[in-house]
Chains A and B, each alone.
Chain A
Amino acid sequence: MNDLLAARTQMALSLGFHIVFAEIGIAMPLLMVLAEWRWRRTGDPALRELAHRWAKGTAILFAVGAVSGTVLSFELGLLWPGFMRLAGPLIGMPFSLEGFAFFLEAIFLGVYLYGWERVSPRMHLGAGLIVAASGATSAVFVVMVNAWMNTPVGYRLAANGALADIDPLLAMRSPAAFQQILHMLLASYAATGLAVAGVHALMLLRGRGSALHRHALTIALVIGAPAAVLQPLSGDISARVVATTQPVKLAALEGQWETVRGAPLRVGGWPDAAREETRWALEIPHGLSLLAYHDPDARVQGLRDVARADRPPVAVVHLAFQVMVALGSAMALVALAAGWAALRRGQVHERRWLLLALAVVAPFGYLATEAGWIVTEVGRQPWVVQGLMRTEDAVTPMPGLIVPMLLFTLLYLFLGAIVVALMTSLVRETRPA
């Protein structure tokens, strides 16, 4: 493995690890606050118990999210000094604002977790709401940075290769920003909402402490199901923006090699980079043109029009996209079914098939998120900043990068295993601590 590949692997791993905790950190406070609010309204002790248990889980997950995020902010310099030297002044703004969002999040999480007996009920709920809001805010800011990497604006390229006349505020509103932020926020609520719903559905299926699990299921679905239903629509918006702003990425995620009018939509299939064709796909005529441009005969650029050195690894991107769409479709269907059941009879908890389906889709949101980020990031290769800087020019000159990569891989595997073990025992626990 060469140094560049090691750096890319380490970055991908760190981000792939962090994003799960970030999604939890965005959505979980909302669930927690809803449970506490319902408890304060109804006085039902099961809700109180639920709020406490969710808070306990969130405390663990948030800490892991915070430390893994810290690693990321350093890794930008440890692995990609070239990128930061070039882009720091332009994209530092959202990162700095994100810093304040982190502060608010950490401060009020402290108040929320340790303040049950110390602050008034209203202040306690308020603290929870601030945590929920600042989690979402930090996602908005950091995704702005990523959107800029995909569709860079707000600068002029000077003769010496540096950026001149920079406009950091414009960079925050790059063409990809809005739809990526929307998609990311929905992803957080859908993934975490359905994951929590799935866990409690499983407990209901096993007949454990049902009052608590019933409340939990309801609250998680209230957050997760609408987001899961909206996510494919938001994904469609994303795809259309990608089509106009990043045609090479679109071609890669669809496995489209030839530039044609009326391009088909491919389901499945394996893009063969050597033969420059995608085989074994189910092709829906005109589907891609229709979806990406809302015109069945729109022209779609193919990968053959792009120099080989400028193409991303097509197979990975195409596969990841298929995985995301498949998982997203399954989630949306289950969410619709749950909504339907709730509207018809008001009882989701009684239907075993639905509980089973919820338990099955529980991990789908996080898997779809990983897949989606692979689409976005690998689909941008070989560029770290689309059309402006190549990843190989951004990487640190330090040799031997495989060592830190392996070290952090081990660390994350270890932490991941512990977090899973702790969460499992937390869910199983029958008595409150």
Chain B
Amino acid sequence: MSALLAGAGLQELAALVLVVGLNAYVLTGGADFGGGVWDLLAWGPRRAAQRALIARSIGPIWEANHVWLVLVVVVLFTAFPAVFATLGIVLHVPLSLMLLGIVLRGSSFVFRSYGTSGGAGRARWGRVFAISSVITPLMLGICVGAIASGAVGAAAQRLPARGSVPAPSFRELFVDPWLAPFPVAVGAMALAMFAFLAAVYLAAATRDEKLRGDFRRRAIGANVALFVVSFAALWLAGSEAPEVRHALMHGPAVALQGAIAIAAVSSLGALAARRHPLARAAAAAQVTLILWGWVVVQYPMLLPPLHTVRSAAAPEVTLRLLALALGGGAVVLLPSLAYLYRTFARVEERGVDAAGRGAPGGP
């Protein structure tokens, strides 16, 4: 890591903030989406209790968790405006679908929790909540995969000048870069990752042994699925993203892969041993390392092959002010977040009924 950051300037700092913000989003907001996946897949005799636990753990925190994504977006367009513009152009379709998922997930969640409609209405919102919770991680991962593979940058280089007859077709420019096996595999990775995190967190969040068991088994299953799709992605990278594949197999990424393997084995081991807090830490470490694996492979490219962190960065003044703002903001933000999580660490102590109803109204 120190080698990576040698000679780092404000540009690298801004990029670091992006990654840290994305990392925080994945660990918090990502797990909220993962909760929705388990809502969709709720089965067995404790189906209702599973859903209630999911709703109660997400309730007070998902909006705050969601702001990490907003922060990543504003830092991206402030510090690397050209990259933001290019992503907006080439990834218009998957980003719009992701937004659709975000809007439907958030609104259906509150409609279900606070709606006055009866059980049928609730069930319908529950369905929307669950399905949109799948769309968003998938699209997010697809966008990441498309960026990493270099297809987005390549498509951007072929964008026709305005007014000229577009030589490449709509499909070549706006669909092919992301609707390809490798990006889709990365999308599946994101989905498995978020579902894995959610299951581990949920198992740790309840004291009901049976419910714990349900989520423990789900966590193990999700981690196995994550392993499988990661391998698929690695294999597909051979043809679609040879640079990614090469970088993964050489240099610092190899050590990182070793670390990921250790974290994965520890989280599985901790789950099997029912050490839930340990499992939570190991799962967070595993996912964090995967994300950093992408970063290490790609650095110093921000949007390969078009922009490096340096070439895409905004002027020095902007970066300096941004650093100040982020520093000042962090001073206010971090204690507030800690307070939020501390207040709601144990969901079952809260005075809400088992259906997760009536929370804001209080008992």
Which residues of A approach B to under 8 Å, CB–CB? Answer: 52-53, 55-56, 59-60, 62-64, 66-71, 73-74, 76-79, 81-82, 84-90, 92-93, 95-100, 102-104, 106-111, 113-119, 166-169, 396-400, 404, 407, 411, 415, 418, 422, 425-426, 429, 432-433
Nearest residue (CB) in B for A85 is B85
Contact between A399 and B170 (Cβ–Cβ < 8 Å)?
yes
Q: Inside 8 A of A425's CB, which chain B residues have their CB? A: 116-117
B81 touches A89 (CB 8 A): yes
- In the complex the two chains form, what is the Cα distance from A109 to B110 in whole Å? 14
Residues of B in contact with A (beta carbons under 8 Å apart):
59-61, 63-64, 66-67, 69-71, 73-75, 77-79, 81-82, 84-89, 92, 95-96, 99-100, 102-107, 109-111, 113-117, 159-160, 162, 166, 170, 173-174, 314-315, 317-318, 321-322, 325-326, 329, 332-333, 336-337, 339-340, 343-344, 350-351, 357-363
Q: If A56-B114, A396-B88 touch, does A106 touch B67 (CB 8 Å cutoff)? A: yes
User: Residue B111 contacts which of A88, A108, A422 (CB distance < 8 angstroms)?
Assistant: A422
The docked-state distance in angstroms from the alpha carbon of A106 to that of B350 is 19
Count of inter-chain pairs, beta carbons less than 8 A: 237
* A96–B326 touching, CB < 8 Å: yes
Structural contact, B111 and A99, CB atoms closer than 8 A: no
B116 touching A63, Cβ below 8 Å = no
- Of the A-B pairs whose beta carbons lie under 8 Å apart in the complex, a sample of 25, sorted by A's number, is A70-B66, A78-B92, A84-B84, A87-B81, A89-B78, A89-B81, A92-B74, A92-B78, A92-B314, A92-B322, A93-B78, A95-B77, A95-B78, A99-B70, A100-B332, A103-B329, A106-B63, A106-B64, A108-B336, A110-B61, A115-B60, A397-B89, A397-B162, A411-B104, A432-B361
Cross-chain contact A114 with B107 (CB below 8 angstroms)? no
Question: Smallest distance from the beta carbon of A402 to chain B beta carbons, Å?
Answer: 13
Instruction: Report the minimum CB–CB distance from B67 to chain A (whole Å).
Output: 5
Once the chains bind, are A114 and B361 in contact (CB under 8 Å)?
A: no
Which residues of A have CB within 8 Å of B59?
Answer: 110, 114
- Give min CB distance, B106 to chain A, whole Å: 4
List the B side residues contacting A116 at CB < 8 Å. 360, 362
CB–CB B78/A404 < 8 A: no
CB distance from A217 to the nearest CB of B (A): 21
Question: Roughly how many angstroms separate A110 CA and B67 CA in the complex, as a whole number?
Answer: 13
Q: Are A407 and B111 in contact (CB under 8 A)?
A: no
- Contact partner of B314 (CB less than 8 A), chosen from A88, A113, A169, is A88
Taking a contact as CB atoms closer than 8 A, the residue among B69, B109, B359, B362 that contacts A63 in the complex is B109
CB distance from A129 to the nearest CB of B (A): 14
Q: Which residues of A contact B329 (CB under 8 A)?
A: 96-97, 99-100, 103
Closest-CB distance, A141 to chain B (whole angstroms): 10
Q: Is the interface of B mostly helix, strand, loop or mixed?
A: helix
Assembled-state Cα–Cα distance A167/B318 (Å): 8
| Pair A99/B74 contact, Cβ less than 8 Å | yes
Give the distance in Å from the alpha carbon of A202 to the alpha carbon of B322 in the complex: 48
**Contact (Cβ within 8 A) B344 A78:** no
Q: Which residues of the other chain, B, contact A114 by a CB distance below 8 angstroms?
A: 59-60, 344, 350, 359-360
Complex-state Cα separation, A102 to B65, whole angstroms: 11
The 4 closest A-B pairs by CB, nearest first: A92-B78, A77-B88, A88-B81, A81-B85
Given contacts A63-B63, A418-B111, contact A52 B318 (CB under 8 A): no
A422 with B103: CB separation less than 8 A: no
Minimum CB–CB distance from A66 to chain B (whole Å) comes to: 5
- Which residues of chain A are near B317, meaning CB under 8 Å? 166-168
CA A114 – CA B56 in complex, angstroms? 10
In the bound complex, residues from chain B placing their C-beta under 8 Å from that of A69 are: 70
In the assembled complex, the Cα of A179 lies from the Cα of B115 at a distance in Å of 39
In the assembled complex, which residues on chain A have CB atoms less than 8 Å from the CB atom of B336? 103-104, 107-108
Of the residues A56, A90, A93, contact of B325 by C-beta under 8 Å? A93
| Distance, CA A110 to CA B358, complexed state (A) | 14
Q: Contacts A77-B85, A111-B60: A71 and B362 contacting too (C-beta < 8 A)?
A: no
Q: In the bound complex, what is the Cα–Cα distance between A404 and B337 (angstroms)?
A: 35
Smallest CB-CB separation from A100: which chain B residue? Answer: B329
B63 touches A110 (CB 8 A): yes
Most chain A CB inside 10 Å of its own CB: which residue of B115, B358, B360: B360
Q: Give, as a whole number of angstroms, the nearest-CB distance from A155 to chain B.
A: 10
**CB-based contact B343/A118 at 8 Å:** yes
Inter-chain contact A64/B107, CB cutoff 8 Å: yes
B106 in contact with A63 (CB, 8 Å): yes
Interface centre among B61, B100, B116, B117 (most CB of A within 10 A): B116
- In angstroms, Cα B96 to Cα A76, docked, is 12
| Closest A residue by C-beta to B106 | A67
Given known A95-B77, A422-B115, contact A55–B340 (CB-CB < 8 A): no
Taking the closest CB of chain B, its distance from the CB of A432, in whole angstroms, is 6
Determine if A168 and B344 form an interchain contact, defined as CB atoms under 8 angstroms apart: no
Judge whether B100 and A411 touch: CB under 8 Å: yes
A107 near B340: Cβ-Cβ < 8 Å? yes
User: Does B318 contact A433, Cβ atoms closer than 8 Å?
Assistant: no
CB pair B85 A67 closer than 8 Å: no
Given contacts A74-B99, A95-B74, A96-B74, contact A422 B114 (CB under 8 A): yes
B85 touches A70 (CB 8 A): no
CB pair B78 A117 closer than 8 Å: no
Residues of A within 8 A of B67 (CB): 99, 102-103, 106
Q: Which residues of B contact A56 (CB under 8 A)?
A: 114, 360-361
**B174, A398: Cβ atoms under 8 Å?**
yes
Q: Do the beta carbons of B66 and A106 come within 8 Å of each other?
A: yes
Q: How far is the CA of A76 from the CA of B333 in the complex (A)?
A: 25
Most buried by B among A71, A81, A104: A81
Q: What are the residues of chain B within 8 A of A84 when measuring CB–CB? A: 77, 81, 84-85, 88
Bound together, the chains give a CA A55 to CA B361 distance in angstroms of 7
B89 and A92 within 8 A (CB): no
Q: Are A119 and B81 in contact (CB under 8 A)?
A: no
Known A64-B107, A88-B84, A400-B170: A102·B318 in contact at CB below 8 Å: no
Q: Which residues of A contact B79 (CB under 8 A)?
A: 89, 92
Q: How far is the CA of A433 from the CA of B356 in the complex (A)?
A: 12
Interface centre among B88, B170, B325, B339 (most CB of A within 10 A): B88
User: How far, in whole Å, are A107 and B332 apart by their CA atoms in the complex?
Assistant: 11
Q: Contact at B64–A103, with CB atoms within 8 Å?
A: yes
Within 8 Å by CB of A77, from B77, B106, B318, B332, lies B77
Q: Please name all residues of chain B whose beta carbon is closer than 8 Å to the beta carbon of A119 when the two chains form the complex.
A: 343
Interchain nearest-CB distance for A69 vs B (Å): 8
Contact of B63 among A89, A109, A433 (CB under 8 A): A109
Nearest CB of chain A from residue B315's CB, rounded to whole Å: 6
Complex formed: what's the CA distance from A408 to B338 in Å? Answer: 36
State in angstroms the CA–CA spacing of A418 and B174 once bound together: 33
Rounded to whole Å, the gap between the CB of B104 and the closest CB of chain A is 8
Complex: how many Å from CA A87 to CA B84? 12
Instruction: Give the residues in chain A near B166, CB-CB below 8 Å.
Output: 399
Residues of B within 8 A of A89 (CB): 78-79, 81, 314-315, 318
| Docked CA distance A52–B79 (Å) | 42
A79 to B81, CA, bound (A): 14
Bound-state CA distance A115–B321 (Å) is 36
Which listed residue, A74, A86, A397, A429, touches B73 by the CB 8 Å rule?
A74
